[in-house]
Amino acid sequence: MEWLRLFFLHPVSFYQGAAFPFAFLFNYLCIMDSFSTRARYLFLLAGGGALAVAAMGPYAVLVFTPAVCAVALLCSLDPQQVHRWTFCFQMSWQTLCHLGLHYTEYYLHEPPSVRFCITLSSLMLLTQRVTSLSLDICEGKVEAASGGIRSRSSLSEHVCKALPYFSYLLFFPALLGGSLCSFQQFQACVQGSSALYPRYSFWALSWRGLQILGLECINVAVSRMVDAGAGLTDCQQFECIYVVWTTAGLFKLTYYSHWILDDSLLHAAGFGSELGQSPGEEGYVPDADIWTLERTHRISVFARKWNQSTARWLRRLVFQHSRAWPLLQTFAFSAWWHGLHPGQVFGFLCWAVMVEADYVIHSFANEFIRSWPMRLFYRTLTWAHTQLIIAYIMLAVEIRSLSSLWLLCNSYNSVFPVVYCILLLLLVKRKHKCK
């Protein structure tokens, strides 16, 4: 059972797996109606605190501090100002923590602490929830805590009003991973009656378990292929294309497994797609849509479906509020949110250009390719090209050293994004001439 040993040796997988009994316990107590709403909030918050201390150790304070400050801002500021201030504070705090990682990796040349890396990952997810909640308050979707800190209520009343916020920001099923759910969905799930909704499905969880089993078996096989072959430093010409493609496949398999595990934990705690969806509101979206990701021939579709809840969050937070170059601003912010490592800056900016090229190229092709044999050939060719470009971008984003990034850029793999760049320039020029 090598796949099982490797999977649970990953620190985040281990702690996520350890949280399942508490998720089932929370679900059971809710089904038995043994919990008041306040007790449910407290259980989720206490579980989040315990999981943070267990997984992060002393670094947990780097997550608790911005959570407390965010709640203070949410409860004290006017709804029109709350998003601006919470966004600035949260991203500033997260950036300082990422700079600490940069200092360790690039100046001290030391491997960062595993607990510190888990903390940074959790902090990024916290930023998603904080900004999502502040946007909801700013847009009037969520009513701000009445009176806030400035009112004359007692301290206990303030804490009771802020308890749903604290619980949402630190609830244990989503602390270390999982799709972003809105505050309204979170509240509906916590307050929902088990008589109205089934809180989890045994068969749905079993199916997710089988998916993880299959992905990890494939992961072990691909890992052996990668280990047996040449690396990026010693590959030759066209061999480098195979090396990048298989290595990126290994990254994708790892992401898929962890996303399904995170989704399973949320589902086990009762935060599945069945609860908390209001009419006209987008429901809970799992991050891993493997079928679409592996068969699409469009880079733009891959960008929307890869880590779906994060893609929706970026669209709402940046894209919809950008007046100029919204696509470039969205991917640039994504690089900032991920930590601004050199490979991430290069990879996300390259991804932005590839998405723009994808729109132009496929728009042109849809106008001129009519026969189904040509469409089939075109779709097959663009599928292969899309997979190779995505592999190139993924490896660039995951690379931490400048020397490895330089090797990637000098390999034959750079031909694929360059082809899209040339086509983009030619088609844009042709479009301007036609006008």
Q: Which residues participate in catalysis according to the annotation?
A: 307, 338
CA atoms within 13 A on the CB side of 345: 7
The CA-to-CA distance between both ends of the chain, in Å, stands at 63
Burial class (CB in 10 A: 0-12, 13-18, 19+), 229: middle
All residues at 6 or more sequence positions from 239 whose CB lies less than 8 Å from its CB, including other chains: 230
**C-alpha closest to that of 58 among 113, 138, 125, 134:** 113
> What's the alpha-carbon Rg for the chain, to the nearest Å?
23
C-alpha 298 chain-centroid distance: 20
In Å, how far are 142, 152, 245, 324 from 73, measured between CA atoms? 15, 17, 46, 30
| 3-state DSSP of 114-160 | HHHHHHHHHHHHHHHHHHHHHHHHHCCCCCCCCCCCCCCCCHHHHHH
Q: Do 158 and 75 contact (CB within 8 A), yes or no?
A: yes
Q: Do 355 and 327 contact (CB within 8 A), yes or no?
A: yes
